[in-house]
Amino acid sequence: MLELYGTKLCSRLLLGTARYPSPSIMADAVSRSGTEIVTVSLRRETAGGRNGGAFFDTIRSLGVKVLPNTAGCHGVSEAVLTAKMARELFSTDWIKLEVIGNHDTLQPDVFGLVEATRILVGEGFQVFPYTTDDLVVAERLLEAGCQVLMPWCAPIGSAAGPLNPTALRSMRAHFPDVPLIVDAGIGRPSHATVVMELGFDAVLLNTAVAGAGDPVLMAAAFSGAIEAGRHAFEAGMLEPRDMAVPSTPVIGQAVFS
């Protein structure tokens, strides 16, 4: 069972709620995925003078825990303000913290991320930081009060899958007792299986499901893939070998000359 900030969860899939063809398809995908946590961007849904009230009502009706995020924020003050607004709207201390540093890659500004984390933790937030796979940054985030880390495996929305499995494996080894959730870059169910086989605790998805030809079916596919990867990790997998090993024993068998 997965535990995040004292909340115990059966599902290891976190699902985003943006860019679906319609709210009803989004709701069906959430249901089919079995997720117990959805993320929602306050800034995106209220951008350009739009009223996100109807959308937020739909989110509340899903019957799952809401993890608001600060998607689209490019500075510390902007991210902190957005987090405070999200807490007021959704009555939760949880916040997925994003402080974007590069417009092209959407790579997090890790310096601003640590600073914003210190501020928000000091104000009672339970922070889920969107970060890189850098071990030093991870240490700083934990020192700032995070109890969960959310490293990327590739740029947001790229669908490239894990670009640096060695770094992800190293992060898992360095922080064996910290919940690690791969966030950003997953494009296929097989990508999700790979990171779960590395020992990660969960996967957060959005574009890979919302942008699929059939988002509801894809949500189910990811759910199964994540479960399979976790089972494989817990079962203990064979390591690759550089030579053949017969699956059928030859000792005691008749030998014909």
Please say whether the beta carbons of 153 and 168 come within 8 A.
yes
Closest Cα partner for 179 from 16, 36, 4, 6? 4
CA angle 143, 4, 192 (to 5 degrees): 100
Close Cβ partners of 219 (under 8 Å, ≥ 6 residues apart):
15, 29, 30, 32, 33, 209
170-171-177-179 Cα dihedral, nearest 10 degrees? -140
84 is catalytic: no
Close Cβ partners of 52 (under 8 Å, ≥ 6 residues apart):
42, 45, 46
DSSP-H helix ranges across 123-214: 135-143, 165-174, 189-197, 207-210
Please pick, among 8, 65, 84, 96, the residue that the annotation labels catalytic: 96
Residues acting as catalytic residues: 96
